[in-house]
Amino acid sequence: MDRRTFLASSAALTGLAVHGSFNQVLAQGTGPIKIGLLTPLTGVVASGGKEIVEGFNLYWEQVGKKAGGRDIEVFIEDDGSNPDIALQKARKLTEQTKVDFLVGDLLANTGLAVSEYAKTAGIPYFIPVIAADDLTQRKRIPNVIRVAGYTASQMPRPLADYAYKKMGYRKIITISQDYTFGHEQCGGFAQMFTELGGEIIAQHWNPLNTQDFSPYLAQIQAAKPDAVFAMETGADATRFISQWTNFGLKGKIPLLGAQNFTDQSVIRTMGPEAEGIISSAHFAEGNDAPATKKFVDEYNAAYKHLPSIYGFSHYSAALWIAQAIDAVKGNVEDRPAFLEAIRKVALTTSPLGRPVRLDAYGNPIYDVYIRNVVKRPDGKLWNVPVETYPEVTQFWKYDPETYMKQPSYSRTFQGTPSK
Amino acid sequence: MNMTHQKVWTVCTIVLLALIPFALSGYQTSLATLMLIYALLAMSIDIMAGYTGRTPLCHGAIFGVATYVVMYYVTSAGGNPWVGMLLGIGLAALVSLVFALLAVRTSGVYFLLLTLALGMVIWGVCQRWTSVTGGENGLRGAVRPDWLVDPSRFYYFVLAVGLVATLIMWRFVQSPFGLSLKGIRESESRMKSLGYHSTRHLIIGFVFSGVMAGVAGVLYALFNSFVSPSSVALAQSVKGLLMAIIGGVGTLFGGVVGAAVIIILENVVSSFTERWSMVLGVLFVLTMIFAPEGIVGKLRSIKWSRKGSK
């Protein structure tokens, strides 16, 4: 081999032998606290993703971008509504931008991918919107905390109770996006509904980004259920509601929805086709509690539209995180202490108008409202509470330990009696 | 003259690649690792698109299938990652064989569409077969062996595997068999009249390129410790094809250049602007107008024209 090659290869070999890992010197808390916000700015749930940024930023702007005596810097990355990209961006934020903790993501599959990364990298990850049940049930990760969030199956259970007892439905068909969030929302609904004595006569699962729902709508029409429970998010929800009306089913079959189905991000551009849909959630922007009204008015003034669950959840999350940062006096580098402070937060100033705290498994407890979509005097649509179910935890009427013995909700297990 | 020149270029590139972990941070080294993995995918596509003259849109799916096998074998079946990698390459070969048998009798646009459809079948299976593939959630779990967790070590591992694979591909396309593929690209009827069994040659070529895509796929499993249906989607095949085209179809090493360009665009340029995909689109259009033979192809033709004008 010639001299050039010899020198180059020996340099490379020596380098290999001498290589060691460098220990990161933790900067003592004087610089700004860096927050990595992952959110889908493109893809099927881009409408919700934008509002995540709005809600999060609104809080920090209201307090002058400071907490615990330090400045707050938010780094926003687009997760593309896709778990591969979410993972890439999580890595980038943690390893290149060197943020102190991660927040955000919308779709459950992106959240699960980033949670797995957070587990191995040890970085705190807060998930106000990711509702994958197991993250606070069977597969709890200590540094992944559902700050101001909820589990997927938490909200539909009161709705199933309302549907059976108040509305008198006995036979229901569910249609849902085919991924964890959909499986768990439908599972929560189906298990409660069948335990009360109702029957789920069919369940349809559509891929994310379904353009044409007519095959499903035709089957629903033929089966003649008492009501339909629909779990769609983002652009899929908009399409479903329009096609439901165009197909002629509006007014003929009552429509029940998951909270994302009638979320502001979906209904604000719609008209009469969205009115009258019943859903359940901890947040209703039409709630006339003073704290909620104040938040809705401030949000509307800042962004010229009513807040959605995504905006609200991330506003509350920012509030929650700020309280924890104040509790540790800005020392977020001490991760165990910071995580402990997060767990101990009892949010008294939440826009919900009632205190919010975590249960023993790391998921918040809420009053769940049964909401109806109505038109305001100014023509805009919003969700107004018609009934309240107080103190709903992620387990509600079930005993946690017994509940966690049953398998996680999936396409094949929905908590219904096997046929 | 040509051979020595090429040897110098090769050695310089290898040395440059070997020095990367020293020049760049751990995160950037992992990006370089990703670039090497995609380079393998792009080169495997180039074997079909460049040398055989039939452009496939399914190699992303074959790549992703290998990734799925490794992830499933290690996380759900509790197996050894190395065995998983062999199984992944094996399934990639099997899938390529099936695709080849179905597709090689067509050419041009029909071949493109047929391979596109076959890739979509794989995507559909990965999306719906939730009990095995995890559906939209994908499969996740640590699959990288402990001694490879350090990004620099893993980079050298991927570099070593990549160099071996590139060497194999290079020997393949330079061999008489590789030349027969070029002949089929030029004129299939003439090759047939000379007695070459063109269908058999195409099938072998296709499976070989699929195996190489499978090698890239198993490395990706170790890199990412995560797989989801987007890894087998059409976008993956298109990305690989774009890398091959921007680097230069028919040059083999163009795949490395193309992969570098696109990975850098995706990660570095995206820090400065949200519209990085527009930059990619503009780059692609400019390449097609001014340098349709790709970056490496353009460099080679500049060298030749300079030689000729002496």
B21 touches chain A (CB under 8 A): yes
B220 touches chain A (CB under 8 A): no
d(CA B253, CA B124): 32
CA of B16: how far to CAs of A16, B253, B259, in Å?
Answer: 14, 15, 16
Contact A5 B150 (CB under 8 A): no
Mean pLDDT: which of A105-109, A406-410, B55-59 is highest? B55-59
Region of residue B144 (phi > 0: left; psi between -120 and 50: alpha; otherwise: beta): beta
pLDDT digits (tens, 9 = 90+) for B267-304: 877 777 777 778 888 888 998 898 888 888 888 888 77
**Which residues of chain B lie closer than 8 angstroms to A4, CB-CB?**
11
Contact A116 B141 (CB under 8 A): yes
Evaluate whether B77 touches B85 at the Cβ level (below 8 Å): no
In which band, very low, low, confident or very high, does the pLDDT at A75 lie, cut at 50, 70 and 90?
Answer: very high
Give the nearest partner residue to B140 out of A113, A207, A412, using CB atoms: A113
Question: Is residue B105 pLDDT above 80, yes or no?
Answer: yes
Distance of residue B256 Cα from the nearest chain A Cα, in angstroms: 21
Distance of residue A113 Cα from the nearest chain B Cα, in angstroms: 7
Computed over every residue of chain A, the mean pLDDT equals 87
Q: For residue B123, give the chain A residue with the closest CA.
A: A207
Average pLDDT, integer, range B106-120 = 94
The single residue listed with the structure tokens 């993956």 is: B236
Q: For residue A17, give the chain B residue with the closest CA.
A: B153
Contact B11 A8 (CB under 8 A): yes
pLDDT at B298: 84
In which band, very low, low, confident or very high, does the pLDDT at A2 lie, cut at 50, 70 and 90?
Answer: low
Strands A66-67 and A227-231: unpaired
- Percent of chain B past pLDDT 90, that is, above it, reads 55
pLDDT at A15: 44
In which band, very low, low, confident or very high, does the pLDDT at A22 lie, cut at 50, 70 and 90?
Answer: very low
In which band, very low, low, confident or very high, does the pLDDT at A205 lie, cut at 50, 70 and 90?
Answer: very high
Contact A112 B131 (CB under 8 A): no
d(CA B72, CA B70): 6
Average pLDDT, integer, range A105-112 = 88
User: Following DSSP, what letter does each residue of B171-209 receive, concatenated?
Assistant: HHHHSHHHHHHHHHHH-HHHHHHTT--HHHHHHHHHHHH
Region of residue A415 (phi > 0: left; psi between -120 and 50: alpha; otherwise: beta): left
Question: Is residue A347 pLDDT above 50, yes or no?
Answer: yes
pLDDT at A156: 93
Distance of residue B277 Cα from the nearest chain A Cα, in angstroms: 12
Contact A83 B228 (CB under 8 A): yes
Contact B137 A15 (CB under 8 A): no
Give the nearest partner residue to A15 out of B22, B131, B231, using CB atoms: B22
Question: Is residue A28 pLDDT above 70, yes or no?
Answer: no
pLDDT digits (tens, 9 = 90+) for B218-277: 999 999 989 999 889 998 999 999 999 999 998 888 999 999 999 988 887 777 777 777
- Percent of chain B past pLDDT 70, that is, above it, reads 98
Write down the architecture of domain A156-288+367-405 according to CATH. Answer: 3-Layer(aba) Sandwich (3.40)
From start to end of A115-198, where are the E strands?
125-126, 144-145, 171-177
B10 touches chain A (CB under 8 A): no
Element (H, E) at A344: helix A335-344
* Every domain of chain B and the residues it spans: 27-238
pLDDT at A18: 39
pLDDT at A6: 53
Question: Is residue A114 pLDDT above 90, yes or no?
Answer: yes
Compute the residue count for chain B: 310
- Reduced to 3 states (helix: H, G, I; strand: E, B; else coil), residue A200 is strand
Distance of residue B159 Cα from the nearest chain A Cα, in angstroms: 13
**Which residues of chain B lie closer than 8 angstroms to A5, CB-CB?**
11, 15
Element (H, E) at A70: strand A70-78
Give the nearest partner residue to A178 out of B136, B156, B224, using CB atoms: B136
In which band, very low, low, confident or very high, does the pLDDT at B4 lie, cut at 50, 70 and 90?
Answer: confident
- One-letter amino acid at A320 equals W
Contact B267 A92 (CB under 8 A): yes
Count residue pairs from A and B with Cβ separation < 8 A.
Answer: 81
d(CA A212, CA A233): 15
pLDDT at A265: 83
**Which residues of chain B lie closer than 8 angstroms to A91, CB-CB?**
27, 30
Tell me the sheet residues that pair with A381: A375
Domains A33-151+290-365 and A156-288+367-405 share a fold: yes
Tokens for B2, please give them.
């040509």
Evaluate whether B196 touches B180 at the Cβ level (below 8 Å): yes
- Percent of chain A past pLDDT 70, that is, above it, reads 93
d(CA B198, CA B184): 7
B11 touches chain A (CB under 8 A): yes
CATH entry, A33-151+290-365, from 3.40.50.2300, 2.60.120.10, 1.10.240.10, 3.40.50.300: 3.40.50.2300
Contact B131 A113 (CB under 8 A): no
Average pLDDT, integer, range A100-118 = 91
**Which residues of chain A lie closer than 8 angstroms to B226, CB-CB?**
83-84, 87, 113, 116-117
d(CA A207, CA B128): 9
Nearest-CA neighbor of A369 among A383, A355, A356? A383
Average pLDDT, integer, range B159-186 = 93
Tokens for A328, please give them.
């540790």
pLDDT at A29: 61
Strands A227-231 and A199-206: unpaired
Give the nearest partner residue to B27 out of A83, A96, A109, using CB atoms: A96
Q: For residue A41, give the chain B residue with the closest CA.
A: B274
B30 touches chain A (CB under 8 A): yes
**Which residues of chain A lie closer than 8 angstroms to B27, CB-CB?**
91-92, 95-96
In which band, very low, low, confident or very high, does the pLDDT at A5 lie, cut at 50, 70 and 90?
Answer: low
Alpha helices (runs of H) in B188-275, residue ranges in sequence order: 188-193, 198-224, 234-247, 254-264, 270-272
pLDDT at A26: 44
Question: Is residue A348 pLDDT above 90, yes or no?
Answer: no
Cα-Cα-Cα-Cα torsion B170, B174, B177, B180, nearest 10 degrees, comes to 120
Average pLDDT, integer, range A356-365 = 87
In sequence order, what are the residues at sequence separation of 6 or more whose Cβ sits closer than 8 angstroms to the Cβ of residue A175?
A203, A204, A205, A206, A213, A216, A220, A228, A229, A230, A231, A232, A240
pTM of the predicted protein model: 0.81
Tell me the sheet residues that pair with A356: A347
Contact B135 A92 (CB under 8 A): no
Tokens for B5, please give them.
């020149």
Contact A96 B19 (CB under 8 A): no
Q: For residue B157, give the chain A residue with the closest CA.
A: A16
pLDDT digits (tens, 9 = 90+) for B54-93: 999 999 999 999 999 999 999 988 888 999 999 999 999 9
**Which residues of chain A lie closer than 8 angstroms to B138, CB-CB?**
83, 109, 113
Separation of first and last alpha carbons in chain B: 15
d(CA B70, CA A340): 37
Tokens for A345, please give them.
């937060």
- Reduced to 3 states (helix: H, G, I; strand: E, B; else coil), residue A206 is strand
Contact A83 B137 (CB under 8 A): yes
Computed over every residue of chain B, the mean pLDDT equals 90
Average pLDDT, integer, range B115-131 = 92
pLDDT at A418: 66
Mutation target to probe the A interface, by most A beta carbons within 10 A, among B140, B223, B271 is B140
Nearest-CA neighbor of A390 among A359, A360, A369? A369
In which band, very low, low, confident or very high, does the pLDDT at A3 lie, cut at 50, 70 and 90?
Answer: low
Question: Is residue A201 pLDDT above 60, yes or no?
Answer: yes
Tell me the ipTM for this assembly: 0.80
d(CA A153, CA A159): 11
Give the nearest partner residue to A113 out of B26, B138, B150, using CB atoms: B138
Contact B19 A12 (CB under 8 A): yes
Q: Which one is predicted more confidently, A10 or A187?
A: A187
In sequence order, what are the residues at sequence separation of 6 or more whose Cβ sits closer than 8 angstroms to the Cβ of residue B274?
A41, A78
Evaluate whether B231 touches B213 at the Cβ level (below 8 Å): no
Q: Which DSSP symbol is given to A128?
A: S
**Which residues of chain B lie closer than 8 angstroms to A180, CB-CB?**
136-137
pLDDT at A337: 92
Element (H, E) at B60: helix B59-71
Interface list for chain A against chain B, based on CB atoms closer than 8 Å: 4-5, 8-9, 11-12, 15-16, 19, 21, 41, 78, 82-85, 87-88, 91-92, 95-96, 108-109, 112-113, 116-117, 120, 178-180, 207-208, 410-412
Mutation target to probe the B interface, by most B beta carbons within 10 A, among A3, A19, A79, A115 is A19
B152 touches chain A (CB under 8 A): yes
Contact A179 B135 (CB under 8 A): yes
Contact B15 A12 (CB under 8 A): yes
pLDDT digits (tens, 9 = 90+) for A125-158: 999 998 888 888 888 888 999 988 888 889 999 9
